[in-house]
Structure 1
Amino acid sequence: MLPANTPRSFYRDAGRIAAFRGAAGDGTAPAGGGYHPEDWVASTTARFQAAPAGLTVLPDGRPLTDAIAADPVGWLGADHVERHGADPAILVKLLDAGERLPLHVHPDGRFAASHLASPYGKAEAWVIVDAAPDAVVHLGFSRDVGSDELAGWVARQDVGEMLASTNRIPVRRGDAVFCPAGLPHAIGAGILLVEVQEPTDFSVLLEWTGFDLDGAAVGHLGLGFDEALRCVDRAAWSEARIRGLAAARPGSTTRPGVERLLPTAADGFFTAERLRPAPDAVLDPAFSVVVVTAGGGELSTGHEILPVRAGMTLLVPFGAGTCALRGRVEAVRLLR
C-alpha cells in the first residue's frame, strides 16, 4: 500500500486526490489545494530535468528503483525483464484537474529515440474516476492544421483558435480514453482520473498563458519549437476515429470480474482493467498497480490478505503470484 507522491506542478488541483485518498483512512492522503494535482503511483520515472521529484519511495524507505534493481525478476517477472530489462515500462498517476490543463502533446517513441535518447515516448490513457456534469477533454484537431498555422498559434499564444480547432469530448465516471502519442490534448476542469502512460515526462506545450511556468523557455523539451512541433499530429481526427479511442474491445470481459477498458491500439503500451469481483476477480502474476475506486473488500495473495477500500493505491509485484480481489469493491488495475 503506497502513500501519496505529489510533486509540485504548474496547474492547480481542487483537493480531489486528498478527498479520494482520505476516504481510505490509511494515513496516506496528501494535503489538498494548491499546485499538487498529480499523485505518481509506483513511479520509477522522475519529473523532466527535476529528479528525484516524481520517484516513489516505498513505505520501508527504499526507493522503488533500488528495490527493483536488487530483484528485477521478483518484482517484474522473467518474461518482462527479458523484454524491457529492470524497468516496469509504465507510469501510473492520479490526476485532479482543478483547472483545464493547457493544450499539449507528447512525442512518440520514434521521436523520443531520435531527439531525447529515450526508448519510450508518451502514449497515455485515462480512466475517469469522477467528473463534473459538464466535464470534457480536448482530443486531436478537428481539421487539418498547417505547420505554419500551428507555429503561429503557439508563438502568439492564440489559445482561442487552438481550442476551437480541437474535438471536445464529454466524459463521465467510468469512461476510459486512449490518447496516442503525438495527439494534441487537454484535460478539462472538474475531472479526477487514473492515468496510465509510457514511463516518461515528455511534454511539448502548445499553450501556457495563465499557467505557473515559462512555457516559451521550457515548453519545447530543450529542442526549440521549430523542432519540437514536428512531433505534433496535425491531421484531422473525425468523430468516428475519436470514438475508436474510447471504445473497449468487443467481448472485453476476459474472465469473471475483469473487464478490459482500452481499445486494441493501446495494447503495445499498457493494459487497463476494471475489477468488479463476481464473486472474485482473479489477477494473473504481474507487476501492476491497483487503484481502489469504490467500496471495500480484500486482496489476497499467496502470502497475505490485505483489507482494501476506496482511495487506496496498491503496488503488486510479480512475486506476489496469482491474486484475488473479493468483496463489494471496484478497482482499476494497470499493467504493462
Structure 2
Amino acid sequence: MSSDTQPVPLAANQPRQFYRGGAAIAALRNDVGAGGGPEDWVASTTTRFGKDEAGLSRLPDGRWLRDAVAADPVTWLGAEHAAEFGGDTALLVKLLDAGQRLPVHCHPSNAFAEQHFGCRHGKTEGWIVVGTTGPEPTVYIGFREDVPADVVARWVAEQDPAMLDALNPVAVSPGDTVFVPAGVPHAIGEGVFIVELQQPTDFSITLEWDGFLADAEAGHLGLGYDKALDCVERRAQSVDDLVLRTRAETGPSVPLLGTRADPFFRADRLHVSGTAAMEPSFGVLVVLEGAGTVGPVAVHRGSTLVVPHAAGEVVVTGDVVAVRCRPPLVSSLGS
C-alpha cells in the first residue's frame, strides 16, 4: 500500500538554531554521536522564518511531507480537517533540548499574524516535559504582575534583566505540561527537554536578544519593536491555569494539555502493554520508552512517525510509552 495510507517512520530533521543543545535528542534517538542541534522538527510542513525549505520534513521516498499533504489533504488529514484547513496540517511538533537558557520571547496571536504576515496561524504552544538535567530545571511563563507597555518597551530597549525576573519561574520534571498562549512571554531553562506542539509558524518576537542574537534587528521579524511589542500579553498569568502535573497518570491514554488547547492542538501520552487501537486521525508519534509496532511499523525508544488519517484505526502492540500529537479539534474552533 502507499505510504500515504500507513504510518511512516521519520528521520531526524534538525534545522540550524542560535542556541546550544541536542544531547538529549541524540540520546533519545540512540544516536549519541549526532551533533544535529537543539531542535528536531517532526513531521514538519513549516519552514524557518524567511526560508524556502529549512525546517521541512522529508518522507522516506524523498518527497517533502508538505507537498504530499497538499496533493491529497483528505487522505492525510481527513475530510473534516481538510474542509477547514485545506492542505494545512495546522500543527508543528518539535523535540526541543535546551542546552542553555533560552531568551525571553513571545509569539503573535492569530489576529496579529493575519494582520502583519498574512498568515492564518499565530504561535500558541504546548510543552510536554520528557526529560531534565541539572539541579533546578525551570521554565519561565508569563508575568507575575500586570506590566505597563512603557515598562516592557524600556526593558527591551535597555535589555534589562528585570524581564526575566518578572516572569513566573516554574520548576519542572518529566510528565509536567505547560500551555503557552500566544503573546505570553516565556523562556525555557537549561536542561529542560520537551516535546513541543505549536501552531505551524516560526514567528518569534525575541524580547531578550542581547547575548543570544546578533543584534536587535534579528528579534522583531522585520516589524520594528514599536510594532512588534503590540503582540505581548502584559497581563499577569496564573501558573495554575497553565501547568499540569501528569507524571502519576498511567492510563492507556492520558490527556496532557486540557481542553483549552483544543483549538490549537491536542496531545496524549499512550501507555500500551499488549495491544491498543488509535482512532483515525492525522497524528505525530514520539516514542519515549519501550518497543513494539505501530500498524506495520516497528518502533522503539526514539522513533518518530507521522500517521495519515487514511491509515484508519491503527493498532499499537508491545510495551510502548509514546506522545501522540494531533491537530486542532475542528469542532472547538470559534468556541
TM-score, structure 2 length as denominator?
Answer: 0.90
One-letter code aligned to 1:293: L
| 2-structure distance, mates of 1:80, 1:183 | 27
| 2-structure distance, mates of 1:52, 1:203 | 18
What's 2:216 paired with?
Answer: 216
Q: Please list, as runs of the form range in 1=range in 2, the aligned pairs for 1:160-199 lying within 5 A after superposition.
A: 160-199=161-200
For 2:89, what is the secondary structure of its paired residue? coil
> Alpha-carbon deviation of 1:278?
4.9
What's 1:139 paired with?
Answer: 141
For 1:244, what is the secondary structure of its paired residue? helix
CA contact (8 A) 2:176 2:244 kept: no
One-letter code aligned to 1:32: G
> Alpha-carbon deviation of 1:91?
0.3
Matched, 1:242 2:239: yes
What's 1:105 paired with?
Answer: 106
What's 1:309 paired with?
Answer: 300
What's 1:95 paired with?
Answer: 96
Q: Which moved more, 1:116-125 or 1:61-70?
A: 61-70
| 1-structure distance, mates of 2:77, 2:245 | 26
Of 148, 157, 177, the match for 1:155: 157
| 2-structure distance, mates of 1:284, 1:231 | 37
| 2-structure distance, mates of 1:294, 1:314 | 14
Of 272, 277, 283, the match for 2:267: 272
| 1-structure distance, mates of 2:22, 2:164 | 23
What's 1:225 paired with?
Answer: 225
> Alpha-carbon deviation of 1:51?
2.0
One-letter code aligned to 1:327: G
- Between 1 and 2, higher relative CO (CA 8 Å, sep ≥ 6) is seen in 2
CA contact (8 A) 1:136 1:170 kept: yes
For 1:286, what is the secondary structure of its paired residue? coil
Q: Deviations over 1:270-308 (max 9, x none)?
A: 0000000254332111110000001112112xxxx2221
Q: Deviations over 1:85-105 (max 9, x none)?
A: 111000000001000010000
Matched, 1:20 2:28: yes
Pairs aligned (count): 316
Of 280, 285, 288, the match for 2:280: 285
One-letter code aligned to 2:100: E
Q: RMSD of the alignment, in Å?
A: 1.7
Q: Deviations over 1:171-201 (max 9, x none)?
A: 1011111111100000000011100000000
CA contact (8 A) 1:113 1:120 kept: yes
**What stretches of structure 2 of length at least 5 have no aligned partner?**
1-8, 328-335
> Alpha-carbon deviation of 1:31?
2.0
| 1-structure distance, mates of 2:303, 2:196 | 15
CA contact (8 A) 2:20 2:38 kept: yes
> Alpha-carbon deviation of 1:235?
1.1
One-letter code aligned to 2:226: D
Q: Please list, as runs of the form range in 1=range in 2, the aligned pairs for 1:311-330 lying within 5 A after superposition.
A: 311-330=302-321
| 2-structure distance, mates of 1:70, 1:124 | 27
CA contact (8 A) 2:176 2:245 kept: no
**What stretches of structure 1 of length at least 5 have no aligned partner?**
24-28
For 1:115, what is the secondary structure of its paired residue? helix
Q: Deviations over 1:133-176 (max 9, x none)?
A: 41000000011111111111111111x21111110001101111
What's 1:26 paired with?
Answer: none
One-letter code aligned to 1:242: V
One-letter code aligned to 1:147: A
What's 2:52 paired with?
Answer: 51
What's 2:4 paired with?
Answer: none
> Alpha-carbon deviation of 1:70?
2.0
> Alpha-carbon deviation of 1:30?
7.7
Distance of aligned partners of 1:91 and 1:61 in 2 relative to their CA distance in 1, 3 Å threshold:
same
One-letter code aligned to 1:334: C
Matched, 1:257 2:249: no
Moved over 6 A (4+): none
| 2-structure distance, mates of 1:248, 1:169 | 12
What's 2:290 paired with?
Answer: 295
> Alpha-carbon deviation of 1:248?
7.6
> Alpha-carbon deviation of 1:115?
1.2
For 2:272, what is the secondary structure of its paired residue? coil
What's 2:85 paired with?
Answer: 84
TM-score, structure 1 length as denominator?
Answer: 0.90
Q: Deviations over 1:219-257 (max 9, x none)?
A: 1111110010010011112xxx311212389xx99xx61
